[in-house]
Chains A and B, each alone.
Chain A
Amino acid sequence: MKHPLKREQLLELYYFMKLNRELEDAMVRLFRQNKLMSGLYQSLGQEAISIGTAYALEERDWLAPMIRNIGAMLVKGFPPRDVFTQHMARLTAPTRGKDSTSHFGDYKRRAVGPISMLGDLIPVMTGVAMAGRYLGQNIVTLTWIGDGGSSTGAFHEGLGLAASQRAPIIVVIENNQWAYSTPVARQVPLKDLADRAKAYGIPSFIVDGNDVLAVYDVTKDAVELCRAGNGPVIIEAKTHRMKGHAQHDPAEYVPKEMFEYWKARDPIARFEKYLTDNKLWTEAGRKEILARIEREIAEDQKFAEESPMPPPEMAAEGVYCESGCHDIRPEWKRPVAEVTPPRSSVKSEWTVSNEDGYGEWQQPAEARDLAGAAGNGGGAAARPDGRNGGARNRKSKPARVTKSKGRR
């Protein structure tokens, strides 16, 4: 591994993956007992992605889960009781019964809750990344999207904006082969969804999503790139959704062979074998972790089941923040003078230099070269008068290594 982990950290990774799975198993039981008020989206077989990516972040970094990233929330410090209470619509839930499933976050823990519409977290987490840079916080943001969600307009608008701003955001494409019932080949004619990065001129990685150490390692690389001002980064984690879209869906459309292939690559079984083969744990140590998980889940499930439902009239509250219920102010980690006049004042014009860190202007290539490269032979890609390049060719090369100046 490029980013080695200590034994305790490896065991912690295992703890989180196993907790993720056991928690969801407990939720399946509750669902079947009709004790959940909501649907249930499992991440069975995808735990290594949630855990490995979130584990590579630092406490100051921000994440925003999608429906199959409950594991990442556990890593970020949310207890299982938050997951139980969310699904059971309890007053004690993070959203106090106002929203369900994984639709919760906590800005104090640096987590943004998702909405159901896919892709919209990408521009939002781009904004968090931009604000973090503006405030001098040196943070990285990370969010996930499925193979299906990578077709949304919000995905592309968000990544386009992030790329143009060089925002320190990591987008993890969890390619689990299925968007509900539609296989990935019917969604996008790409072998690797990481190739979407080419369109934005940003770095990308492909990783075995069922190998938690590989996922962790590659995310660490992505974090370093972002921290150094070379974001955004796309990571494609290849995996397989081992259940239906949600509990109601038996996924009969998935060929049996696919389930069998991926079952043999179960991320938790693989990591258990790794820990055993490398003598990183004893049988007693393993049992201790399992006992801890069992205890925590039982306690938190009990807590949720004993928690009250919210009072009906609470429905009318909380639409607006009035009379100072929230104190909204930024946390500055750089001198405010840098962004206030007169120091902030600039000459308002586009230049051909690299003053604002967007990259240098380059003379457009010869028209015939571009036409050839575009493969259309029409020469529409460039004009001989050079107007195609514009005054500012923001990114001339897909792979950027230049650090941005004047932007943090």
Chain B
Amino acid sequence: MIAKRPARSRLRRPPGLVVVGVILVTVFCLVAIRDFDYAGARTSGSDVWVDVAHGTGAANVISSIYLGARLFDTILEVLVFSVAALGVRFYLSARGRSYEAELVPESHIVRVAVGVLLPPILLLGIYVLSYGHLSPGGGFSGGVIGASGLLFAAISLGTAHVSQRMRPPVLRWMEWSVLLGLIALAALPATCSLPLLADPLPAGRMGSLMSGGSIPLYNGLIGLKVFIGAWIVIKHFVDHRGEI
């Protein structure tokens, strides 16, 4: 009986803390939402950003900011992602390859669902990516949606099967080419004797697919980078840490 007492108290403590935490977070959220002036935040300075959007030709104001005036922030984020992928590759390579893990048999329903759902998921990724300058979305979310689709396939078909279709040498080459392409595109205005953040491509008619200047190109490159990078990271974990 003496041995059981500490075990009980250990079990009781985390839920107690969680309940207190939940109450604190709830109170914080309610206070924050009550005090935060959403209407004010939406109107203040909005004219400035609408002007920015008109300048780039992109109907999605957000994408015209992070791929326009805040382009270098975005490029640095992509660099951080690339360095993270490089770190995963570097440290996992030192561990050597994992043993041959057998594919855990998946249910028939999941296997069929992959065949049915994978094309629409990839299509959605491409849509979100290519219409990022017109509607909510962009390169990051489009790339992540595509990578999620691949992971979904990997869960039921196995990474080896998906990897064969993806051609790893081509992916490795593309991963760095895309990053170089992004940096080159960002440096293009400077080489054309334009201001640093000026767009060398025509803005086009706002609302049409061929608008937004370089923004669709950036979205495409970022989407490709995120798609390939996410897959490579997962593949390295599988190769060097075992599983699927």
Q: Are chains A and B native binding partners rather than an unrelated pairing?
A: no
Interface residue ranges, A against B (CB under 8 Å): none
Interface residue ranges, B against A (CB under 8 Å): none
